[in-house]
Amino acid sequence: MVKDSTNHLLFKELIRTVKQYWKQLISIVAISFLSICLFCGLTSNAKNLEERRDYLYEQTNFADVYLTTTSISFEDEQFIRSINEIIELDKRIYINGTSNKNTVYLVSPEVGSELSLPLISQGEEGFLLVNSYAEANHINIGDEVEISFSNLLLNLFDGNEATSSLIENFLSSYVLENKANIIFADDIILKFNVTGFMYHPEGVQTAEFSPSLFYVDRSVLSKSIISVLEENYDTDSLIEVLKAILPSLSDQIELFFEFTDLSSFVTNLLPYISNQILIKSSSPSDTVNKINEYYQQKGDNSTLLTCSLSSELQASKAINQDVNQAMQLTFVFPVIFFLVSLLVILTTLSQMIIKQRSQIGVLKALGAKRISIYFHYILYGVVLCFIGCVLGFITGPLLIPKVMGIKYDILWDLPYQNVHFFYFLSILMCVLMILISACCTFLVSYKVIKESPVETLKGENAKISFKVKDSKKFSSKFISLKMALRNIFIGKGKSLMVLLGMMGCTALLVCGFGIMDTLNYDVELDYTINQTIDVLAIPSSNPAELKKQLENQEEVYWVDERSEVSVLASTSNSVDSSLYIIPEESKTFNVPFYVDGGVSVDSHTASQLNLSLGDEIKLYFNNQTFTRKVTNIFESSTIHGIFDIASSYPGVNFDISMFYILLNDGYSIDDFARKLRDTSQYLSVQTIDDLFDYADNLLSSIGNMTDVIKIFAILLCVVVIYNLTSLNVSERKRDIATMKVLGFRFYEISKTLTYEIMLDTLVGIIFGLLLGYPLMVLVLMVNQTDLLTFVYHIKPLTYFIGFAVAFFSSLIVSLLLNLKAKKINMTESLKSIE
């Protein structure tokens, strides 16, 4: 009966407390919701990206090892097949070409290949494009695509100029009228009809940011080559010539097979063009080491370009980096809000329990057991956090992956997977949140509940003593400051909460504004320091003629042509990169280049290749390999690649990719750009403002994130100061009432309360200013990709803004809440136990 009566009293007390303190209690729900929503949402986002990647790898049977060479000899293949760890091995053709002014890679596996297959999203096998490339170029199934290749067949002769010259002379006699000896032409154009679209593990980066991948069946490639040969040669006579020539050359080239017609010739020829081997291995690292050792022993006879794990491919490293960064982001901001939520729980429940000391004393006097009272107050924290956790657990995965998905859709071409809720980390965080809230509630209630009923009913009376030697020299200003310092010294725990809260708030503000400083600085670095551009134009045809036209226009001060070629750059490892050919007298590229006859490399590419000044780098393109020395490494954000001059690559004709144009003073950049667009001779014309706008769009997702950081930083400040100022006024009721009796005015009382909060705030702000830069670096490191690197930079003004926003937000909230002191009833606050 007593137990039922006690439980009934506790239940009534629960209802009354909820009605009385609903605003403060909702703050616990809100901060718990924000913490769990952010954590669970970011966790689901990271896991979803990982699941999309893993699903693609699984469905395509992604190879473990990629071996790329200029050619594969019979001896090389036999050695590789003899490696015990190899489970499965496929050969394929892997060559780079150009399509629609874009660098592309064409992959053609042997019949029956099982490794790194395409995941068809639409259409059927044959000639497949990655989805992002088809979408960007408005290509539909059935459309014809042309690809231009350089030196497609010449690698058969393995650099043997005598053999190449002999065959070229023979074939020239069988070229049709007004046609070309296409096999030995600089470029061979192959035509394909698109049969479908695909996802592919080597093509996960969208076509806008990396060379695209074309996947063609061997039979389709054979038909396309046959079509080109029939268009340019007398094929009947050609076959007879080839039958006579090839057997006599068997000691010079590894090429001999029987054929009866052009179709069988091309079909049997293509395996000899294979230059890449894909491997499934029980020990991929050991396999890579054995292959590299084998080719090193061959010395100058080595045809190896690169042999590496599939995880070291540029596409793999990029997506793996983003997956890891997405998971790291899960622990950056949520940790801050998790700590703040604990702070809010502690202060809110402390304030409530202080106000309910007399009720707790009455409950103990009526015989309520301490464990029942503990359970009663712990229930507040547990239930309120549980509600916030459930709402955040559901809302986070529904909202955040959609927002972050905008960024991922721009960067990655991955199959869609449904977002899931029940991840171990998400559930664990919810459980920890609830358990820690229970512990916090127990800690703040323990001191009061352990007291005897008499001590609890008596209340805590703070002792205040003023030593005033001379009433004429009495200054309330100094008394207010002394009282504030005394209160800080007494309430170390509360001061620590203010300090931590304001440190987090200020650090977030500096981080948010600092991110924008870095982004703006990086754009300025690339487009006004490293380069000087008024107009960037990409020609559609006849670039040499267009350059002459540009130079003859009165608006134009200078024109730099620039060529861009996709290359495989390798040292101890390899990456797909870009080689930029700069005119020897350039007025638009401000970075030192061709220093001491070497190449200039941006710092990000140098980091990927582990390059230092003086190192040598191998560049493979146009089915040729060039070795160059690195003599300059420079900082940049979006300019990535290797920069050199054309004379370093004898025998290579570089097509002009773009014009960098400077105008004379007094001419409108927009008008000149519009004039070029009207000629329809350019694929693209962009002004410097257009380039800045493009950079802003590329960085918009990070910019939006900074706005969220700033908003949450200010909210954090408001929540912390609101809770702690409210707690301060509640704890100081008797002090404030005493000061009123002694004749202190509200202004003087408010100064005491404000000094106390603002002194703690100042210390927190100072530590927050120091923490802001490391936090910004951490956040940007999480968002860094192979497409975008950051040169960290914070303006001095940012520190001032961070200080001002944190300080004045705290001051305004504190002054507003100090008005509560006016409502304190002196009689109620000072009366003793009745």
Strands 574-581 and 642-644: parallel
Q: How confident is the model at residue 380 (pLDDT cuts 50, 70, 90)?
A: confident
> Taking the model in full, what pTM does it have?
0.70
Who wins on pLDDT, 711 or 590? 590
Say what the pLDDT of residue 799 is. Answer: 93
Domain boundaries in the chain? Answer: 1-61+321-460, 92-260, 473-530+690-834, 541-680
Coil, strand or helix: which one is 834? coil
Q: What is the pLDDT of residue 628?
A: 93
Share of the chain above pLDDT 90, in %: 21
Residue 330 has what DSSP assignment? T
pLDDT value, residue 156: 47
- Most trustworthy range by pLDDT among 22-31, 242-251, 510-519, 780-789: 510-519
pLDDT band at 230 (very low <50, low <70, confident <90, very high): confident
Cβ neighbors of 114 (< 8 A, separation 6 or more) are: 61, 88, 90
Tell me the per-residue pLDDT of 254-269, one tens digit each, with 9 for 90 and over: 555 677 788 888 888 8
Average pLDDT over residues 201-225: 85
Q: What is the pLDDT of residues 110-162, one digit of tens each?
A: 988 999 999 999 999 999 999 988 888 889 999 999 988 766 655 445 445 55
> What local confidence, expressed as pLDDT, does residue 391 receive?
92
**What pLDDT was estimated at residue 2?**
45
pLDDT band at 413 (very low <50, low <70, confident <90, very high): confident
Average pLDDT over residues 566-594: 87
Q: Check residues 81 and 337 and name the one with the higher pLDDT.
A: 81
pLDDT at 457 (0 to 100): 66
Gap between the Cα atoms of 392 and 408, Å rounded: 23
Tens of pLDDT, residue by residue over 654-707, are 888 889 999 999 889 989 988 888 776 787 788 888 888 767 766 665 666 677
Mean of the pLDDT values across residues 472-493?
Answer: 65
The whole-number pLDDT of residue 814 equals 78
The dihedral of CA 207, 211, 215, 216: what is its sign?
positive
Instruction: Report residue 237's pLDDT band, with 50, 70 and 90 as the boundaries.
Output: confident
46 pLDDT higher than 60: yes
pLDDT, residue 214, reads: 94
Mean pLDDT taken over the chain: 81
Helix (H) or strand (E) run with residue 344 in it: helix 333-355
Residue 834's pLDDT band, with cuts at 50, 70 and 90, is very low
Residue 778 has pLDDT above 70, yes or no: yes
pLDDT at 55 over 80: yes
- Residues linked to residue 450 through DSSP beta bridges, in sequence order: none
Q: Under a CB-based contact definition with an 8 Å cutoff, are residues 660 and 533 in contact?
A: yes
Question: Which has more pLDDT, 448 or 11?
Answer: 448
Torsion (CA) 245, 246, 252, 253 in degrees, nearest 10: 140
DSSP state of 651: T
More confident residue, 811 or 662: 662
pLDDT surpassing 50 at residue 468: no
What confidence score (pLDDT) does residue 731 get?
Answer: 66
Q: What is the pLDDT of residues 599-651, one digit of tens each?
A: 999 998 898 888 899 999 999 887 788 999 999 999 988 788 999 999 999 88
* Residue with the larger pLDDT of the pair 462 and 62: 62
Q: What is the 3-state secondary structure of 8-68?
A: HHHHHHHHHHHHHCHHHHHHHHHHHHHHHHHHHHHHHHHHHHHHHHHHHHHHHCCCCEEEE
What burial class does residue 100 get, using C-beta atoms within 10 Å of its C-beta: 0-12 exposed, 13-18 middle, 19+ buried?
A: middle
pLDDT at 248: 62
CA proximity to 643, closest of 583, 694, 699: 583
Cα gap 233→361, rounded to integer Å: 106
